Amino acid sequence: MLQQRLSTGIVGLDEVLHGGFTPGRAYLVRGGPGTGKTTLGLHFLTAGSANGEKVLFITLGEPEAMIRQNAESLGFDLSGIAFLDLSPTPEFFAQVETYDIFSPAEVEREPTTRKIVEQVERLKPSRVFIDAMTQFRYLAADPYQYRKQVLSFLRFLVERDTTVLFTSEGSAEAPDADLQFLSDGIIHLEYAPEGRTLCVNKFRGSDFLSGRHAMRLGERGMEVFPRLMPEVYWREFALETISSGVPELDELLHGGLERGTVTIITGPSGVGKTTLGLQFMKKAAGRGERSVVYTFEEGVETLLARCEGINIPVRAMMERGTLSVVKVEPLRYTPDEFAHLVRREVEEEGARIVMLDSIAGYRLSLRGEDLVGHLHALSKYLANMGITTLLINEVEHITGEFRATEVGISYLADNIIFLRFLEMGGELHKAIGVLKKRVSDFEKSLREFQITRYGIKVGRPLTDLRGILSGTPELVGK
């Protein structure tokens, strides 16, 4: 039986939690200052109030007015949210005579507890957000009392079918291990130099997407980008071959490229790798299929102008929605965020061909570590979704001894197409060949490759040359 879930108000987080929170449970949000704990709580509450649920925000640190101000600047609608403000008032400071005869635990606990109980009994909220639970620590005589109080407080709420989200300011000085043990789930927020992350450490009674997920705190609050788990995604697709639209090229590839495969187009700078990729997209556009190019180095305008010059009508394709060219700004995205962009293209826009231009650009432009691993996951995902993936790989050497790729990514590829320069009779020529094709056989000979203003031209097999891979081929003597 499928459990009923409560949306967290954040699409990505719902996905990480396989649908959302389990109703009637208490969840802990922990993280250092400025990691977005309160923002997460606001999402949680506004998602409830938008549903017509009664929701309550219990604040023990930040005053209500300030929370409202911050929330409104992020575009939250707080009209449906009830507040219980237990933060200290300015009068408290002005009161010269503060007491010392009893400990705060003896004096403040009771009124605080009474206010909470009153408010909860009156409102009967279905969602409660407590910011921050660690404040209660100061109202308890000792750690045991604290633990008991928090537990019974949570039970008091949960017995009323309330779903509780509470925050903790866990640090080395004030550990919150006790809170972690007694919650039904833990969401850990972190702010590392390479970006913000969200990680679920515990989620009673359900599976969840493990690991660190990229998170962004922006103008509209919090966005979570679940780590790409390729094996989770799968869809039926016909194992058909897509043509390039150039008969000789199709011959070379024994029909074309298959759906659900990853192709690396490799070659030195200026040899025509991007153009070759776009050729497949041009043909696909003719069938009415959508393609996406992520360009990491080249500006969109240059790319467009270049394509127009060689008879690939990119502007018309973009107008018809059969092509999207996306410039990825350096260091703007983490790999998870980028994967999220790609997923949206695939799952919502229905793109069938995706090209990353180039692999080096991907590795340079995205923040974070283990980028080859992320690229692998992304390729795997695209393959599972039946997408024809084109990865552009630039080799540094213009001529000379042949090498396929330089960063140890050949293993990603189902197909490797290479382009290279040749010197023949003092002239620079280009050749195209196939190095690997997992699904079908392919032509083992190389062919001449030209980019003209009418488009790509592929010549006859260069069977009368030898030593092509050395870059300086010779005519086979007849």
Partner 1 sequence: MGDKPLILAVDHNRRNLELMSQLLSQESYETVTVGSLEEFDQVLNERTGIKLALVDIAGFDRSVWERCERLRAADIPFVIISPRQSAALSQMGLEYGARGVLIKPLTVKELLGVMRSLL
Nearest distance from C-beta of residue 144 to partner 1, angstroms: 15
The DSSP letter of residue 240 is -
| 3-state class (DSSP) for residue 328 | coil
Beta strands in 149-261 (DSSP E): 163-168, 185-192, 195-203, 212-218, 221-225, 241-242, 257-258
Smallest distance, partner 1 to C-beta of residue 44, A: 37
Give the residue from 153, 211, 160, 219 showing the smallest Cα distance to 182: 153
Binding site for partner 1 (CB under 8 A): 95, 97-103, 106-107, 141
Q: How far apart, in whole angstroms, are the C-alpha atoms of residue 443 and residue 251?
A: 7
Give the distance, in angstroms, between the CA of residue 51 and the centroid of all CA atoms in the same chain: 27
Positive or negative, the CA dihedral 354, 360, 366, 370 is: positive
Q: How far is the CB of 101 from partner 1 (least distance, A)?
A: 4
Nearer to partner 1, 99 or 234 (CB): 99
Shortest reach from residue 197's CB to partner 1, in Å: 42
Pairwise CA distance, residues 113 & 129, whole Å? 15
Our measurement of the distance from residue 285's CA atom to the centroid of its chain's CA atoms, rounded to an integer in Å, reads 27
**CB of 467 closer than 8 Å to CB of 422:** no
Residues 6+ apart with CB under 8 A from 66: none
CA–CA gap between residue 322 and residue 46 (Å, rounded): 37
Q: Which residue, 100 or 427, is less far from partner 1 as judged by CB?
A: 100
DSSP state of 39: H
- Between 3 and 95, name the residue whose CB sits nearer to partner 1: 95
Q: How far apart are CA 154 and CA 131, in angstroms?
A: 14
Angle 90-113-47 from CA coordinates, rounded to 5°: 85
Nearer to partner 1, 95 or 171 (CB): 95
With 0-12 / 13-18 / 19 or more C-beta atoms within 10 angstroms meaning exposed / middle / buried, residue 38 is buried
* Cβ-based nearer residue to partner 1, 143 or 286: 143
| Greatest Cα-to-Cα distance within the chain, rounded to the nearest angstrom | 110
CB nearer partner 1, residue 141 or residue 331: 141
In the complex, the smallest distance separating the C-beta of residue 112 from partner 1, rounded to whole angstroms, is 15
Which residue's CB is nearer to partner 1, number 2 or number 96?
Answer: 96
Q: In what order do the strands lie in the sheet with 415-424?
A: 323-327, 290-295, 351-357, 388-395, 262-268, 415-424, 427-437, 447-452, 455-461
Report which residue type is found at 219.
Answer: E
Question: Are 186 and 208 spatial neighbours (Cβ–Cβ below 8 Å)?
Answer: no
Least distance (Å) between residue 99 CB and partner 1 = 4
Q: What is the DSSP letter of 4?
A: P
Can you tell me the distance from the alpha carbon of 150 to that of 428, in angstroms, rounded to the nearest whole number? 77
Q: Which is nearer to partner 1, 105 or 431 (CB)?
A: 105
Token readout for 215 is: 């998170």
Tell me the closest approach of the beta carbon of residue 92 to partner 1, in angstroms.
11
Give the nearer residue to partner 1 in terms of CB position, either 112 or 241.
112
> How far apart are CB 111 and partner 1 at their closest, in Å?
11
Tokens representing 390?
A: 């084109």
State the minimum distance, in angstroms, from the CB of residue 102 to partner 1: 5
Query: How far apart are CB 49 and partner 1 at their closest, in Å?
Result: 38
Kindly tell me which of 96 and 177 has the beta carbon lying closer to partner 1: 96
Min separation Cβ 96 and partner 1, Å: 9
Q: Strand, helix or coil at 260?
A: coil
